[in-house]
């Protein structure tokens, strides 16, 4: 049996509905939108918790609870409540992506260089200015590491979208299993793995670049402002 036969078939690489590019686009859509939803919710909450130092127990409890939820069972529950389609899948994936973004943001803001934060406050900066000019730039690499972790989890888990009749690369796995088409199953699993690797490399490069630039830049800015004030 040639496990690559599905990938080698030119008909599966057309722009037709159900072909590989189409399913790949669906998979990327679920990944990007769900991570974006989680970021819109998790980053502000993480900044608030990290800056004030309050609510850490809530984050820990929510993170543990979210990780304990069986993803497939959650999908089925959302389908029963909201019907099949993209909405229940996006809800499930956003809940999955929220804990790493929330915890990374809170940890990044809370772990910002205390000397830089104290210098900013000594200059009379408001809490909002301390966050935007000092804590956020220093926390950004760690925040993006949380986004990176969330993205990889969502890419792998987005295969469950097929069980909600919502498409994605998981469709190849489900359809291949139903028809015992092992090359199709193999293609779906391989494409998900390759997509995760590509996204991990891209996000890893962004995080590495920010780690090299964020701290020195922020520290210099605060140092210049302190010198000017003196």
Q: What is the DSSP string of 164-215?
A: GT--STHHHHHHHHHHT-HHHHHHHHHHHHHHHHHHHHHHHHHHHHHHHHHH
Which sequence spans correspond to the domains of the chain?
Answer: 19-229
Fold of 19-229: MetI-like fold (1.10.3720)
Highest mean pLDDT among 126-130, 180-184, 209-213: 180-184
pLDDT at 42: 93
Q: How far apart are CA 81 and CA 62, in angstroms?
A: 22
pLDDT single digits (tens) 99-155: 999 999 999 999 888 888 888 888 888 888 889 888 998 899 899 999 999 999 899
pLDDT at 7 exceeding the cut of 90: yes
pLDDT at 228 exceeding the cut of 60: no
pLDDT at 165 exceeding the cut of 50: yes
Task: Please report how the helices 20-52 and 170-179 are oriented relative to each other, as an axis angle in degrees rounded to 10.
Answer: 130
Q: How many helices (H) and strands (E) does the chain have?
A: 10, 0
């Amino acid at each position: 049996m040639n496990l690559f036969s599905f990938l080698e078939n030119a008909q599966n690489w057309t722009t037709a509905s159900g072909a590989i590019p189409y399913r790949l686009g669906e998979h990327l859509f679920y990944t990007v939108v769900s991570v974006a939803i989680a970021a819109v919710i998790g980053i502000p909450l993480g900044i608030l918790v990290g800056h004030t130092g309050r609510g850490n127990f809530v984050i820990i409890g929510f993170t543990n609870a979210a990780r304990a939820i069986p993803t497939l069972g959650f999908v089925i529950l959302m389908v029963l409540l909201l019907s099949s389609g993209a909405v229940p899948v996006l809800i499930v994936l956003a809940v999955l992506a929220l804990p790493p973004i929330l915890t990374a943001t809170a940890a990044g803001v809370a772990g910002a260089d205390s000397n830089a934060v104290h210098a900013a406050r000594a200059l009379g900066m408001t809490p909002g200015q301390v966050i935007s000019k000092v804590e956020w730039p220093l926390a950004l690499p760690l925040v993006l590491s949380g986004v990176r972790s969330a993205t990889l989890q969502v890419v792998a888990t987005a295969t469950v979208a097929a069980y909600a009749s919502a498409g994605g690369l998981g469709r190849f796995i489900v359809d291949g299993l139903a028809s015992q088409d092992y090359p199709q199953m193999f293609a779906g699993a391989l494409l998900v793995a390759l997509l995760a690797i590509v996204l991990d490399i891209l996000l890893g490069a962004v995080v590495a670049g920010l780690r090299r630039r964020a701290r020195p830049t922020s520290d210099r800015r605060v140092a210049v402002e302190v010198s000017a004030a003196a």
